[in-house]
Amino acid sequence: MSKFGEKVEGYGVKVLNEREVRASAGILFFFALIAFLNAWLIGNFEIIKIFVIAFLLDFFIRIFINPKYSPTLIIGRYIVRNQTPEYVGAPQKRFAWIIGFILAITMFILVVLNNVIGPLNLFVCLICLILLFYETSFGICLGCKVYNFFNKEKAKFCPGGSCQTKREKIQKINRLQVLIAILFIVGIIFVSVELSEEEKIDSPENNSSDECEVPQWAIDLGHEEQYVLHHGCG
């Protein structure tokens, strides 16, 4: 029978070390992003297949055997071994990981077994990326939020004490801060549009033949394709 979570004095439920969990999520997010970009940008689904198999095995061990034998959690534990543990409730984490396991099974059936290539598996992969990103970047377990909708006994011991802690004054956001954030986003969008217009002006059809002629040094280095690409030549 599987053992999920650890008993720690002073906690009414079994717990996990959130620092290890976030480190593990960061590792998975890194490789998931590489796999996703390879599939999205160049149509290479082989890396996604490898990642899905590894992800599925890792989550199977977490849920049905013991989290402490999960390879990515072992690596995560080693990375944060000198940090003070932050204990969070194990029940909601198990629920969240079951969601991840279901997504992994879906991807395994689609991509690995049936070689389905298309928007559906990329959409499922994108959901995984969002879940992992929120976990590793913000310490927010979206699956744990869903846990509360299906359980009368709400999640306990959430990361940062978010289950029971009220926001202090230093954590509140005023209107000026909201305005600054909005202006920042609008400014980045404006710069992006301007750069896009410049890119159109400097497009291959507008480049002279001299600009697109590959110099000898690039040929000697075997970088003809990279030179053409970096100078906006077709």
Annotate 77-118 with DSSP letters as a single string. Answer: HHHTTTSPP-EEEHHHHHHHHHHHHHHHHHHIIIIIIT---S
Contact 70, 58 (CB under 8 A): yes
Residues composing the chain: 234
pLDDT of residue 61: 93
pTM of the model: 0.73
Which pLDDT belongs to residue 5?
83
* Cα dihedral value 104, 106, 112, 114, nearest 10: 180
pLDDT of residue 1: 41
Among 21-30, 75-84, 189-198, name the one with the lowest average pLDDT: 189-198
Are 19 and 80 a contacting pair, CB within 8 Å? yes
- What is the rounded average pLDDT of the residues 76-104? 92
Closest of 123, 42, 213 to residue 231, by C-alpha = 213
pLDDT, position 230: 67
Q: What is the pLDDT of residues 55-86, one digit of tens each?
A: 999 999 999 999 989 999 999 999 999 999 99
DSSP reduced 3-state for 15:
strand
